[in-house]
């Protein structure tokens, strides 16, 4: 199985400041169709996960533009340009190119 490794595992951010989460995969996520199947999800406290970013950098419907994704191959990053209180929770990356889909360990983001 592809191993997804996130860093850091926890992050404490002052509101209005940027935040960045790294996700590295043990194999390339670039498919022969030219797409890279890397997703980002946020699980807010007490809620189910919600999709933020798909295929590395495309924001899902309704996701604020302060969230952005980048990367290629095996190295990926989720950035929040200005963290807001509602952004607290656990962020997961997931690869969708090889079965089974696998998730990173999660990065817990809290507000200072």
Partner 1 sequence: EVQLVESGGGLVQPGGSLRLSCSASGFTFSSYAMHWVRQAPGKGLEYVSAISSNGGSTYYADSVKGRFTISRDNSKNTLYLQMSSLRAEDTAVYYCVKGVAAAGTGIDYWGQGTLVTVSS
CB closer to partner 1 out of 57 and 105: 105
For partner 1, give the closer residue by CB, 87 or 91. 91
Both tokens assigned to 111: 């507000």
For residue 103, the Cα-to-chain-centroid distance in whole angstroms is 10
User: Applying CB under 8 A, which part among 13-21, 69-77, 80-88, 90-98 lies near partner 1?
Assistant: 90-98
Whole-angstrom CA distances from 24 to 13, 44, 50, 64, 110 are 22, 22, 20, 24, 22
Q: Which two tokens stand for residue 25?
A: 């995969």
Q: Does 20 bind partner 1 (CB under 8 A)?
A: no
Instruction: State the nearest-atom distance from the C-beta of 105 to partner 1, in Å.
Output: 6
Handedness of CA 47, 87, 74, 71 (dihedral sign): positive
Q: Is 60 in the site for partner 1 (CB under 8 A)?
A: yes
How many residues of this chain interact with partner 1, rule: CB under 8 A?
A: 22
| Binding footprint of partner 1 on the chain (CB under 8 A) | 37, 39, 41, 47-51, 54, 60, 92, 94, 96-97, 99-106
């Amino acid at each position: 199985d592809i191993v997804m490794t996130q860093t850091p595992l926890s992050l404490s951010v002052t509101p209005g400041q940027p935040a960045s989460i790294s996700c590295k995969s043990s194999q390339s996520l670039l498919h022969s169709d030219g797409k890279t199947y890397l997703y980002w999800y946020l699980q807010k406290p007490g809620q189910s996960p919600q999709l933020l970013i798909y295929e590395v950098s495309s924001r899902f419907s309704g996701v604020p533009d302060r969230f952005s994704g980048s990367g290629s191959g095996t190295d990926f990053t989720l950035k929040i340009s200005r963290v807001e209180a509602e952004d607290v929770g656990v962020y997961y990356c997931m690869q969708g190119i090889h079965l089974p889909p696998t998730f990173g360990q999660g990065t817990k983001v809290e507000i200072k």
